[in-house]
Amino acid sequence: MSIRAVLLFVIAVCIASAQVATVLSITSASPLPPGVVGASYLQTLSAGGGTPPYSWQILPSALPPGLAFSTNGTISGVPVTAGTYTVSIQVTDNAGARVTQTFAISIIAGATFAQFGVISHIAAGGTWSTAITLVNSSPQPVPLRVNFHGDDGSAWNLPLVVAQQGSSQPVTTAGLDGALNPNTTMVISTGALPSLVAGWAEVLSPGPLGGYGIFRYTPPAGPASECTVPLQTQSPSSVVMAYDNTTGLAMGVAFANPSASSTDITATIFDDNGSQLGMQTFTLSGKGHTALNMPGQIPLSAGKRGIAKFQSSGSGGIAILGLRFSSIGTFTSVPGQ
């Protein structure tokens, strides 16, 4: 093949690729994430190809009562009537190309929310971030609410990015309402904050849900480290945790109090011979949280390995996460028993 023929072939392929890449399309999928009667709803549709910017409009059809549609492709409001609705939406690009797609959206009857589970530790800001994944593997839509609490138990307003069914919504809130379609997930990631803050998340739902959190530390130099925080669906009054504060290791423990009442937590420390080294008590406010560095804040464990028994005085139990830090700053989670 001549050089001229090769060049013509390459040009033709590039033109064809450019044409494919510029075809306007709506990339959001149907059905849309469900809503819940009486709970805030926010979903921004997405498009690709064509010539941005895009303009959106709803064609003659019925949005769920209580919801409104804006020209940036956002459906928002507070739905008032349960049911399944069909909505036709059109996007127009800057060159006048148009694409229409029909979406189904289900509105679930108002749910009675009860505490379903706890993510016992969230770290965000600076070089720390946390992502919570919630899973609905059931055949029915499941409503949910996620409340965020700071160390003192107060509502914790966080910048978040909520990813669900191919779309991402930035919000800043201390309480997130939503719902999951059957066999789908929701990922709630912390946004940018100037410095490290910590707390916990309370998941309310009639269930069933699965899930976990992952928090990540990315240092200026050296390896990043992350660990998994389970969605803890039971809060026992007593937890036993193995610890190791020897040979450059250090144990950390995070606690969340799921109850609205304050509780005392007593730590009883044993060494690896089974000898009791002592006891130490601290108080968590209602819905409160704390994270301890055991060698520094429970000094009788410094330089030792063994077990720690944590006992809550309250009726609501405790949620707990153990962390083992290495001498180079990496860490892994340690389960309680």
pLDDT in tens, 241-256: 999 999 999 999 999 9
If we measure between CA atoms, which residue out of 315, 125, 170, 324 comes closest to residue 237? 315
Res 142 pLDDT > 80: yes
d(Cα 49, Cα 320) in Å, to the nearest integer? 47
Is 58 a member of any domain?
Answer: yes
Domains held by the chain: number: 3
**DSSP for residue 93:** -
Q: pTM for the full model?
A: 0.86
How much of the chain, in percent, has pLDDT values that exceed 90?
Answer: 80
- Contact yes or no for 241/322 (Cβ under 8 A): yes
Whichever domain contains 155, its CATH number is 2.60.120
Shared domain check, 149 and 61: no
User: In sequence order, what are the beta bridge partners of 257?
Assistant: none
The DSSP secondary structure of 165-204, one letter per residue, reads: TTEEEEEEESEEEEEE-TTEEEEEEE---SS-EEEEEEEE
Whichever domain contains 66, its CATH number is 2.60.40.10
End position of a domain, from candidates 168, 195, 230: 230
Q: Residue 219 has what pLDDT? A: 86
Is 18 a member of any domain?
Answer: no
d(Cα 115, Cα 14) in Å, to the nearest integer? 55
d(Cα 146, Cα 306) in Å, to the nearest integer? 35
pLDDT band at 2 (very low <50, low <70, confident <90, very high): low
User: How do residues 90-103 score in pLDDT, each as one tens digit?
Assistant: 999 999 999 999 99
Q: What mean pLDDT comes out for the span 196-206?
A: 94
For residue 191, the tally of other CB atoms under 10 A from its CB is: 14
Res 19 pLDDT > 60: no
Q: Residue 4 has what pLDDT? A: 53
Is 54 a member of any domain?
Answer: yes
Return the residue matching tokens 């804040």.
297
Shared domain check, 291 and 263: yes
Is 15 a member of any domain?
Answer: no
End position of a domain, from candidates 93, 108, 123: 108
Shared domain check, 220 and 179: yes
Q: What mean pLDDT comes out for the span 21-25?
A: 83
Q: Residue 62 has what pLDDT? A: 83
Q: What mean pLDDT comes out for the span 58-63?
A: 88
The number of angstroms, rounded, from the C-alpha of 326 to the middle of its chain's C-alpha atoms is: 26
Q: Residue 335 has what pLDDT? A: 87
- Contact yes or no for 319/263 (Cβ under 8 A): no
Shared domain check, 224 and 135: yes
Return the residue matching tokens 């006992």.
311
C-alpha angle 61-63-65 in degrees, rounded to nearest 5? 130
Shared domain check, 295 and 253: yes
Q: Residue 315 has what pLDDT? A: 86
Is 13 a member of any domain?
Answer: no
Res 231 pLDDT > 60: yes
Is 4 a member of any domain?
Answer: no
Q: What mean pLDDT comes out for the span 50-76?
A: 93
| Average pLDDT score over the chain | 91
Shared domain check, 223 and 196: yes
End position of a domain, from candidates 91, 108, 125: 108
Q: What mean pLDDT comes out for the span 172-196?
A: 94
Shared domain check, 131 and 101: no
Q: Residue 18 has what pLDDT? A: 46
* 211: Cα within 13 Å, side-chain hemisphere: 32
Whichever domain contains 249, its CATH number is 2.60.290
The DSSP secondary structure of 293-329, one letter per residue, reads: EHHHHSGGGTT-EEEEEEEE-STT--EEEEEEE-TTS
Token pair belonging to 38: 């009486």
Q: What mean pLDDT comes out for the span 182-198?
A: 93
Is 279 a member of any domain?
Answer: yes
Shared domain check, 127 and 223: yes
Alpha helices in the chain, H assignment, sequence order: 3-21, 294-297
Q: Residue 10 has what pLDDT? A: 42
- Contact yes or no for 83/110 (Cβ under 8 A): no
Shared domain check, 33 and 103: yes
User: How do residues 7-17 score in pLDDT, each as one tens digit?
Assistant: 445 445 444 44
Q: Residue 221 has what pLDDT? A: 82
pLDDT band at 162 (very low <50, low <70, confident <90, very high): very high
How far lies 185's CA from each of 121, 141, 178, 265, in Å?
20, 11, 11, 34
Shared domain check, 169 and 75: no
User: How do residues 292-335 score in pLDDT, each as one tens digit?
Assistant: 999 999 999 999 999 999 999 988 899 999 999 998 888 999 98
Q: What mean pLDDT comes out for the span 172-188?
A: 95
322 contact partners, CB below 8 Å, separation of at least 6: 241, 243, 251, 252, 253, 333, 334, 335, 336
Shared domain check, 296 and 273: yes
Is 1 a member of any domain?
Answer: no
Where in the sequence is the domain holding 253, given as residue range(s)? 238-334
Q: Residue 337 has what pLDDT? A: 85
If we measure between CA atoms, which residue out of 229, 255, 256 comes closest to residue 308? 255
Shared domain check, 247 and 305: yes
